Amino acid sequence: MKSLAALRYSHDDPDRFELERVPVADSNLSVRASLLANAVRISPQIFPDLARAVSFAIDRVDAPVEIESFVTSNPDPNAHCIRIDEHRVGIVLTSGLVGLLKSAEISFVVGHELGHHLFEHAGHPNLRPEMDDGERLRVLALRRAAEISADRLGFVCSPSFEDVFRGMLKVAAGLSDAHIRLDLNEYLTQMRELETLAGHNDAIYDTHPMFPLRVRALLWFSMSEGYYHWTDNRRAAPISAEKLDQRVAEDFDGVSGFGLSHLQSSALRSAKIWSIVTLATIDGRLTKREQSLLHAVLGTEESSKAIRFVTSCGNDAPRAVATKLRGALQAAADAPEKQRVELIEELERVASASGGTDEQRLQVLFEVSRDLKLDRDVRIRPWNFC
| pLDDT tens series, the chain, 386 aa | 677 888 999 999 998 887 889 988 878 888 889 999 999 999 999 999 999 999 999 999 888 889 999 999 999 999 999 999 888 999 999 999 999 999 999 999 999 999 999 999 999 999 988 877 778 888 888 999 999 999 999 999 999 999 999 999 999 999 988 898 888 888 878 777 766 655 555 667 778 888 888 999 999 999 999 999 898 898 999 999 889 998 998 888 776 544 556 556 778 888 999 999 999 888 888 888 888 888 888 888 888 888 999 889 888 888 899 998 988 888 888 777 888 888 999 899 889 888 889 999 999 999 999 999 998 899 998 876 55
- Whether residues 100 and 217 share a domain: the answer is yes
Q: Is 252 among the domain residues? A: no
| Domain termination residue (choose one: 184, 205, 239) | 239
**DSSP 8-state code for residue 255:** I
Dihedral of CA atoms 185, 188, 192, 198 in degrees, nearest 10, equals: 170
* Residue after which a domain boundary falls, among 184, 204, 239: 239
For 239, the enclosing helix (H) or strand (E) is none
Q: Which pTM does this prediction carry?
A: 0.70
Please indicate, yes or no, whether residues 217 and 309 belong to a single structural domain of this protein: no
Task: Please check whether residues 358 and 234 belong to one and the same domain.
Answer: no
Number of domains in the chain: 2
Q: Which residue range(s) make up the domain with 351?
A: 263-371
151 with 220, same domain?
yes
- Long-range CB contact pairs, 74-80, < 8 A, 24+: 77/101, 77/170, 77/171, 77/174, 79/109, 79/110, 79/112, 79/113, 80/113
Q: How many CB atoms are located within 10 Å of the residue 161 CB?
A: 16
Give the type of residue at 170: K
Q: How many residues does the chain have?
A: 386
Q: Give one word for 273, left, alpha or beta, with left for phi > 0 and alpha for psi -120 to 50.
A: alpha
Q: For 279, what's the count of Cα atoms within 13 Å in the CB-facing half-sphere?
A: 30
- On whether residue 328 sits in a domain, the answer given is yes
